[in-house]
Structure 1
Amino acid sequence: MSKLLFAAFNEGAKLSMTGDHEAAISFFDKVLAVDAKHFPALIAKGSSLAQLGRAQDALRCFERAIEVDPSAADPHRDAALCQLELGEPEAAAELMERAIQLNGDPGYREASAIEVYERGNALLTRGPRRPDKARYRQARHTFELALELAPAYVEAAKALADVWEHLGDTAQRDQYTKLASRLRPKGV
């Protein structure tokens, strides 16, 4: 039976890498039907669901993966990204903090900050119309988390200055503009 699980998982992974996430999910579901605690299948299915914009479903997969292996950092980070997508910055911050505790490598922290920052940018650039105040507030929380993860992240500081500009708080805008200029290396 394990060869069949291995083959189904590999087929799902291959389909996911080619962007056919719906088909990939069906293979991950086959694996999970036999072994509901198959950690790689839970993570892979969650990732495919997230790629399809199904953050709530992806979150359930990542939460299940956390139950299976609470010492793994990645499902905590991935669940945090889903929480950001769902407009739950407090829950996202808690999950991200746990992920960073589990994987203290500075590169992991920095990569996580970049992913969070990209979520903030996506909030402001997707959709048929200009972002409203609610989306700017959500982006603010997202960029704040990115800056918390990587305090020297110039782009996150600049993004916060822009968000505060749109939210009408010039004092906060000026604070983050000043921070961004201090973080920028001399001569740049």
Structure 2
Amino acid sequence: MSKLLFAAFSEGVNLSMAGNHEAAILAFDKVLAVDPKHVPALTAKGSSLVELGRTQEALACFERAIEVDPNAADPHRDAALCQLELGEPEAASERMQRAVQLNPVPGYREAAAVEVYALGNALLTRGSRRPDKARYRQARHVFELALELSPAYVEAAKALADVWEHLGDTAQRDHYAQLAIRLRPVGG
């Protein structure tokens, strides 16, 4: 049976890597039908759902993976990214902090900050129209988390200055603009 699970999981991974996320989800569902606690299939299915823009469903997969293995860092990180996208910054911050506690490997926190920052940029560039105040407020929370994860992240500080400019708070804009300047390396 484990060879069949491995084959179905491998098929799902290959389909996902090829960009065929709908078919990948079906392959991961085959694995989960036999072993509903298969954490790699749960997280891979969640990742494919994210790629399809089905964030709420993806969050459910990551939450199930956390239930099965609460000490795995990546499902916490992935769930946090979903929560940020769904406009749940407090819950996302808690989950992300748990992820970096579980994975203290150097660079994990900074890599998570980069992912969070990228999500903030995606929130502002998604769609055909200019972002409205609600989207800027959501991006603010996202960029704040990126800066919290990596306090020397110059780009996150710059992004916060820009967001506060659009939200009309010049004191906050100036604060983050000054922070970005102070974070620049000497000679940079």
Report the TM-score, using the length of structure 2 for normalisation. 0.99
Alpha-carbon distance between aligned partners in 2 of 1:54 and 1:106, rounded to the nearest angstrom: 31
Number of residues paired by the alignment?
188
Alpha-carbon distance between aligned partners in 1 of 2:19 and 2:67, rounded to the nearest angstrom: 27
Q: Residue 166 of structure 1 aligns to a residue in which SS? A: helix
Alpha-carbon distance between aligned partners in 2 of 1:73 and 1:20, rounded to the nearest angstrom: 26
Q: Counterpart of 1:75? A: 75
Q: Counterpart of 1:89? A: 89
Residue identity over aligned pairs, in percent, reads: 81
1:11-48: per-residue Cα shift (whole Å, max 9, x none)?
A: 00000011110000000000000110011100100010
Q: Counterpart of 2:149? A: 149
Q: Counterpart of 1:40? A: 40
Structure 1 runs of 4+ with >4 Å offset: none
Q: Residue 71 of structure 2 aligns to a residue in which SS? A: coil
1:27-83: per-residue Cα shift (whole Å, max 9, x none)?
A: 000000011001110010001001111110000000000011000000000000000
> How much does 1:187 deviate?
1.5
Query: What residue identity is the alignment partner of 1:71?
Result: N
Runs (5+) with no aligned partner, structure 1: none
Report the TM-score, using the length of structure 1 for normalisation. 0.99
Q: Counterpart of 1:186? A: 186
1:104-146: per-residue Cα shift (whole Å, max 9, x none)?
A: 1230000000000000000100111000000000000000000
Query: What residue identity is the alignment partner of 1:30?
Result: K
Query: What residue identity is the alignment partner of 1:45?
Result: K
